[in-house]
Amino acid sequence: MNERDALRALAADLPHAGDDAAVVDGTVITTDMLHERTDFPAGTTRYTAGWRAVGASLSDVAAMGATARAAVAVYADEAFDRDELTRFVAGAVNVCEAVDAEYVGGDLDEHVEFTTATTAVGGITDAGAVTRDG
111-115, 116-120, 121-125 — which is least confidently predicted? 121-125
Domain residue spans of the chain: 21-124
Strand order in the sheet with 27-35: 22-24, 27-35, 115-124, 66-77, 102-110
How many other C-beta atoms can be found within 10 angstroms of the C-beta atom of residue 27? 15
Pick from 50, 49, 40: nearest CA to 71: 50
The rounded distance, in Å, linking the Cα atoms of 101 and 122 is 9
Domain 21-124 superfamily per CATH: PurM-like, N-terminal domain (3.30.1330.10)
Q: For the residues 87-99, what does the mean pLDDT come to?
A: 99
> What is the band of 38 on the pLDDT scale with cuts at 50, 70, 90?
very high
What is this structure's pTM? Answer: 0.87
